[in-house]
Amino acid sequence: MLSKSDPATGKKEPVVIKKYANRRLYNTETSTYVTLEDLAQMVRSERDFVVFDARTGDDLTHSVLTQIIVEQESRAGQTLLPVPFLRQLIRFYGGAMERMVPSYLQVSLETLTREQDRFRKQFANAFTPQGALEAYQEQARKNLQLFEQAMAMFSPFGATGKPGAKPEEGPAKSESPEPSVPRDKPAAAKPAAGPDGQPESDELAAMRNELAAMQARIEKLAKTKT
C-alpha cells in the first residue's frame, strides 16, 4: 500500500498500524508485522504512525508510544528520564497542575529540538569537567534571569503598587512637609527596593533572596572545581 501525502504540506500521512488481540502489530503500509523496536525506528526517522485496535478501532497510539519509552528506558545506558523527574511527574497526576504539564513539556521539547544544533556546538568543546561546569553555570544564570523577569511580570500591582499605573508614575507629592521623626525613636526600616528602585513586597523580596542564595551556591561550586 502506497502512503499518501498531504497536498498542502507535502508531508506523508501517518502510517496505520493495527494491533491484534495477540498483541501483534501489523503495518498496513508494508503489509508486514512489526515490533516496538521497528516503530521506535520509525519515530527516529520522523515517520509518524497511528495505532488502532484491529477489532474495535480504538486509538491505541498513546499507549503504544508509552510502551516504546518503557522498553527504551529498560535498556542499560539509554536512560533519558532521571528518577527525580519520574517522581515529580507522578506527583503531578491528579494535581492542580495536571492539565498544564503536557503543554509545558511539549513546548520545552520543541525548544530543545530547535536549539539542539546550538547545544551540540556549545558542548562540543566541553571535554573537561571544568568546561562542562562553566556551560552549566551559564545556562543556570540565564534560567535565574528569566525567572526574575517572569516574577516581575506577574507582580499584581506592577512597580508602583497601583493597578494599571505606569512604571514612571510615582505617588503624588504632598504639599505639606513630611513630619520629622522624633530623635528618641528610630526611623522605621524601609522595604527592600527592587531592580527599578521601587519597594517590593515581602514575598518577592524573599524569592529574590532565595535566587541570590542559589546563585551563590553555583559560584561556590565553580570555585571548588578550579
pLDDT in tens, 6-15: 555 567 899 9
Q: Quick one: residue 38, left, alpha or beta (phi over 0 = left, psi -120 to 50 = alpha)?
A: alpha
User: What sign does the dihedral 42-37-87-144 (CA atoms) show?
Assistant: negative
Q: Are residues 14 and 66 in the same domain?
A: yes
* No. of helices (H) and no. of strands (E), the chain: 6, 4
All three cell numbers of 156: 499584581
CA 211, CA 56: separation in Å to the nearest integer? 53
Q: Are residues 48 and 89 in the same domain?
A: no
User: DSSP E strands: which ranges in the chain?
Assistant: 15-19, 25-27, 32-34, 49-53
Q: Are residues 34 and 95 in the same domain?
A: no
Task: For residue 141, give its domain range.
Answer: 123-161+193-226
pLDDT in tens, 105-160: 888 888 878 877 776 666 665 555 566 666 666 666 666 666 666 555 554 444 44
Please indicate, yes or no, if residue 118 is contained in any of the structural domains: yes
Please indicate, yes or no, if residue 178 is contained in any of the structural domains: no
The whole-model pTM stands at: 0.50
Please indicate, yes or no, if residue 210 is contained in any of the structural domains: yes
Instruction: State in Å, rounded, how far the first CA of the chain is from the last one.
Output: 61
Q: Are residues 94 and 145 in the same domain?
A: no
Asked if 17 and 27 touch (Cβ cutoff 8 Å), the reply is yes
Q: In terms of Cα–Cα distance, which of 137, 148, 140 is closest to 210? A: 148
Q: Are residues 13 and 46 in the same domain?
A: yes
pLDDT in tens, 169-194: 444 444 445 555 555 555 555 555 55
